[in-house]
Amino acid sequence: GAVVSQHPSWVICKSGTSVKIECRSLDFQATTMFWYRQFPKQSLMLMATSNEGSKATYEQGVEKDKFLINHASLTLSTLTVTSAHPEDSSFYICSADVGDFRAFFGQGTRLTVV
Amino acid sequence: AQRVTQPEKLLSVFKGAPVELKCNYSYSGSPELFWYVQYSRQRLQLLLRHISRESIKGFTADLNKGETSFHLKKPFAQEEDSAMYYCARMIKAAGNKLTFGGGTRVLVKP
């Protein structure tokens, strides 16, 4: 099946700094990728839709200036958490469609802001 | 609000017993429904989707538009079925975004 890879798998950063998370489709091209956030013992909440070559579409309540998304190529989308605070600590997951409504997920990135 | 509801957070069954995970969705149109599974220390992966009408690992799910349900069933649970299961809905007109239910943890005891 299709493979989606996230990097890093975990990251610890200081409050006020920015951290970038990468999401790559390894063996297929993805014009659309999705970014989710998952709090402990909760479900996945869609944050934004990343569109190759155009602006991301953010879900209601998600700060676009805080969660910067760039989808510069057909195999890479990045999520940058800017000026991170402890409340941004979470598990971030990306996914990509292979074109027949099947979504493949990355392994997730655990962000801890101290 | 458009949502997907999984009423059970935890289902504990013995090996060989039937298991049914409930899922209800709210949408007036024709959504695409999916079940995703996450085994321990693994990423989320697709288990099955309603459009395929297939049985995967012994699991089946039937879309009932009248009851707006998409319950997942397996007649004889196995220990390796222990995992987190998420029901999800996709609306094509909304950019193929997935809306997930809260998830149900299945524990199959020996």
* pLDDT tens track for B48-76: 998 887 888 999 998 888 899 999 999 99
Bridging pattern class, strands A109-113 and A103-105: unpaired
Q: Which residue of chain B is at minimal alpha-carbon distance from A34?
A: B97
Cross-chain residue pair B49–A34, CB shorter than 8 Å: no
Q: Tell me if chain A has a CB within 8 Å of the CB of B46.
A: yes
Looking at residue B10, its pLDDT comes to: 97
* Residue of A94 and A103 predicted with greater confidence: A94
**Rounded distance, CA B50 to CA A56, Å?**
29
Counting residues of chain B whose pLDDT is more than 70, the rounded percentage is 97
Residue B89 in contact with partner chain A when CB distance is under 8 A = no
Nearest CA to B62 among B50, B74, B52?
B50
What's the confidence (pLDDT) of residue B1? 56
Average pLDDT in chain B: 91
**Is there a contact between B84 and B41 (Cβ–Cβ < 8 Å)?**
no
Q: Which residues of A touch B56 (CB under 8 A)?
A: none
